[in-house]
Amino acid sequence: MPSPQPNFTITFGGWYQRTTLHLSEIYDLFALGHSGLKLDKTILHNLHQKLDFVSVTREWGELEYIKCLTGKGIEVRYYEDGLYVLIFNSTHIVTGQKMLRDYYDECLAPAISYIFSLGAPTPKVLANIKQDHPTVVSAVTTSPQTFFAKLKFGPVYSQILSPDLSVYKTPAHIVILSKNSSQDVTKLIEMQIFFREFKDQLHRYLNLHREIWEEISDIKERGSIAGKEVETLRARLDSYQKTINLIKSRLNQMGTYVRTRASIAKKLELEDKLASVFQYKFETLTNTHSYVQDIWKMTQDYVDTAIQVINEVKAQSTSNGINSLRLITTIGVLSGIFTYLSKDQFPTFTLIGLWYFLVLVLGTWIINQIVTTAFRSIHYRLKFTQNIGIKS
């Protein structure tokens, strides 16, 4: 008689900064299918139908969260700090994993994105990044190593064994095998997802800092720019400045969430397990967060300096253009005055005089265009101050 198929708990999740106020808005959508915001009611209804929740409850623990169950047996938990997990019990890992990812991509993510579509936007450079998170697979077994060998997950790049838990990390999965069924495993998985997401966000912010810094460095290293490039470069720098302000705000918010999760881990006595099983320490996470904050302060100073330099070039170019036009106007006025002083009678209207006036206006416009184009083609020096720092 063949042995029964083992039962796996498959978990997929992520984290993005939220508060208890956001949780109330999510509950209204999940439970009732409506929102107090100015959002299309038809779209809200369709999103609510696709979620397919058969039960939605608001639960209280270390953090408040919404617990939902779909018609296909997927459990969704959404915490007040923005952590969300999708859980499914199955004997087939690949099938369960695909079900969770499809549900997230087609149902949950569109609903959450729409409910938070108003207000401060996510920077486009971050919104367009495709995130591919590994799935956590957990199971109860008395012989973890033998059990894992039969699963054939592929190459293992990290393996950590402890008396109670065994953790194997592969490119697509994190496998947690426990000798005893315990609620601590669920809490441990949630903390692991929070850590991973927090670090991934910081890493994306660090990489984005590098891109923006190099873009500004490219402008600086040119030494000079033509007057016609000023508006284009200023628009680019304004875009960077907007992105920096948004990201700095996000970074300033993140510190609170680390302290809250650290407090919960200490209360649940998970700190040692996080350190021994996942090599995660809240102190390290806090230090990394502070480092990235400092990096973005430097980036903002760098962009502000670049904008100031471009504004000076723009002012110089505009001043030169105005001075040249003032010279042309002065010459025209003096010429007119001398012409009028040489007259011994009032001018009379003639067709030839009208044509002469029109040709004069056209000639003046052409001269102005030539002068403007000439000054827009002049190159102006970029006078950046020397920046001393380290490569990040």
The model's pLDDT over 146-171, given as tens digits with 9 standing for 90+, comes to 787 777 777 888 777 777 778 888 87
160 and 12 in a common domain = yes
215 and 325 in a common domain = no
Last residue of a domain, one of 304, 337, 354: 304
Instruction: Please give the average pLDDT of every successive group of 10 residues along the chain, which has 392 residues.
Output: 68 89 92 87 93 94 92 95 93 90 93 82 56 79 79 78 79 81 76 87 90 85 71 84 87 87 78 62 85 92 85 68 60 60 63 70 70 63 56 57
Counted domains in the chain: 3
328 and 262 in a common domain = no
Are 259 and 346 spatial neighbours (Cβ–Cβ below 8 Å)?
no
Residue 364 counted as domain residue: yes
| The dihedral sign for the CA sequence 277, 281, 282, 285 | negative
pLDDT in tens, 92-131: 888 999 999 999 999 999 999 898 887 665 555 555 556 6
Q: Which domain holds residue 359?
A: 315-381
What does the pLDDT read at residue 79?
95
172 and 118 in a common domain = yes
pTM: 0.76
Last residue of a domain, one of 304, 331, 353: 304
Residue 1 counted as domain residue: no
Residue 386 counted as domain residue: no
143 and 85 in a common domain = yes
166 and 259 in a common domain = no
Site of tokens 């033998």:
146
Beta bridge partners of 12: 86
What does the pLDDT read at residue 325?
58
What does the pLDDT read at residue 333?
60
What does the pLDDT read at residue 281?
74
* Geometric angle at alpha carbon 66, from 65 and 68, rounded to 5°: 145
Helix ranges (DSSP H) in the chain = 20-27, 41-51, 93-103, 109-115, 124-127, 144-151, 183-221, 230-267, 271-277, 282-341, 351-377
Residue 309 counted as domain residue: no
Residue 392 counted as domain residue: no
Residue 282 counted as domain residue: yes
200 and 140 in a common domain = no
What does the pLDDT read at residue 195?
84
299 and 353 in a common domain = no
178 and 259 in a common domain = no
247 and 298 in a common domain = yes
Last residue of a domain, one of 253, 272, 304: 304
336 and 249 in a common domain = no
157 and 13 in a common domain = yes
Beta bridge partners of 177: 139, 166
